[in-house]
Amino acid sequence: MSLLHNRVDRRLLKQRLMVEDFRRVTLSFYRYVILPQPEEVRDRLYAQWEALQCYGRVYVAREGINAQMSIPEHHFEQFKTELYAWPEFNNVPFKIAVEDDGKSFFKLAVKVKDKIVADGLDDGAFDVTNVGNHLTAEEFNAALNDPKTIVVDMRNHYESEVGHFEGAICPDVDTFREELPLVADLLEDKKDAKLLLYCTGGIRCEKASAYFKHLGFADVNQLHGGIIEYARQVKYKGLPNKFRGKNFVFDERLGERISDEIIAQCHQCGEPADTHVNCANEACHLLFIQCDACAQKFNHCCSEACADILALPEEQQKELRKGLIKGEQNIFRKGRYRETAGTILQKLAAAKNEA
């Protein structure tokens, strides 16, 4: 078994979280460190964290750990002490969310993976430890002011759509795996430029910066701790904020507001909006941006087709869902969106015939 988690109904788990009478801290951390027995690490961490009522999504691999978690405030010190007692995780820096209602996760999942970030790279082919310069928020701001700097957002299109740094290149990609070769191509003749990379929490830039250096880029820099840490430093040190909009996060919140600007539009009506939601029709689950008015109008669905399905009795919906691949993430994209919405009924009907 490669996964340990609570096998309790999602709705019950959410309810349990909502009635908690204590506060939670949302944090993330990662470390590239050799873990020869990732299964063993997973089992021990799961046992430790379950005892402390920690929730979150954690990946463990031979190359390290990548964790997004929610920790009961009253257990935070013990959590930290226990984690730091592992030589592999000693003093691993935590990135703590700035905008946090404590409702970021409602269960604990610790998974063993091949890699802690799916990057599609052959790590044996280059030196993954030869990473770029790590810049603080202040240094990052200074570098942004240099007109010769090229800033690249190392995240996916749906992340940069709701928030990004001023002047950044935001590649139109669904995955990090797609992004690396695309950026390398795009900057083929800019290898002497000052390259400035950033991502959510810094982990993607660890691999990307080593890869770009390997490709011959001369001056590779990365935002230390990512947008999460940048936002924290801006807030506590009173620095100018160069990040516009929201920082997309991969938990129940789907975003942390960094500046008051709304730089995206509702995918249904085009009005300014930057709230990511998943379509309420579970069979669709499309990730898209929806304004409040459209949420009302479409009953939290991405389309009328999905709203129609959602209106069916639960038993019938379940019947329709049979045969669909569970957990498959649909992501909104210009063009693809209409196709997804328009064909959902056909897809469901076809799946039903096959079942």
Which residues of the chain form contacts with Zn ion (CB under 5 A)? 266, 268-269, 279, 281, 284, 286, 291, 294, 302, 306
Of 41 and 286, which has the nearer Cβ to Zn ion? 286
Nearest approach in angstroms of CB 273 to Zn ion is: 6
User: How far is Cα 70 from Cα 65, in angstroms, rounded to an integer?
Assistant: 16
Residue 205 annotated among the catalytic residues of the structure? no
Nearest Cα to Cα of residue 119 among 167, 59, 165: 59
Of 4 and 345, which has the nearer Cβ to Zn ion? 345
User: How far is Cα 256 from Cα 96, in angstroms, rounded to an integer?
Assistant: 12
Nearest approach in angstroms of CB 111 to Zn ion is: 27
Nearest approach in angstroms of CB 160 to Zn ion is: 20
User: How far is Cα 144 from Cα 182, in angstroms, rounded to an integer?
Assistant: 22
Of 269 and 311, which has the nearer Cβ to Zn ion? 269
* Residue in 54, 199, 279, 291 annotated catalytic: 199
Under 8 Å between Cβ of 120 and 180: yes
Residue 59 pairs in a beta bridge with: 66, 111
Of 131 and 289, which has the nearer Cβ to Zn ion? 289
Angle subtended at Cα 182 by Cα 176 and Cα 186, rounded to the nearest 5 degrees = 140
Nearest approach in angstroms of CB 309 to Zn ion is: 8
User: How far is Cα 341 from Cα 354, in angstroms, rounded to an integer?
Assistant: 21
Of 25 and 279, which has the nearer Cβ to Zn ion? 279
Of 74 and 322, which has the nearer Cβ to Zn ion? 322
| β 95-96/55-61 pair status | unpaired
* Sequence-distant (≥ 6) Cβ neighbours of residue 55 within 8 angstroms: 17, 24, 69, 70, 104, 105, 106, 107, 108
* Sequence-distant (≥ 6) Cβ neighbours of residue 70 within 8 angstroms: 24, 25, 26, 27, 54, 55, 56, 102, 103, 104, 105, 251
User: How far is Cα 96 from Cα 162, in angstroms, rounded to an integer?
Assistant: 20
User: How far is Cα 153 from Cα 159, in angstroms, rounded to an integer?
Assistant: 9
Catalytic residues: 199
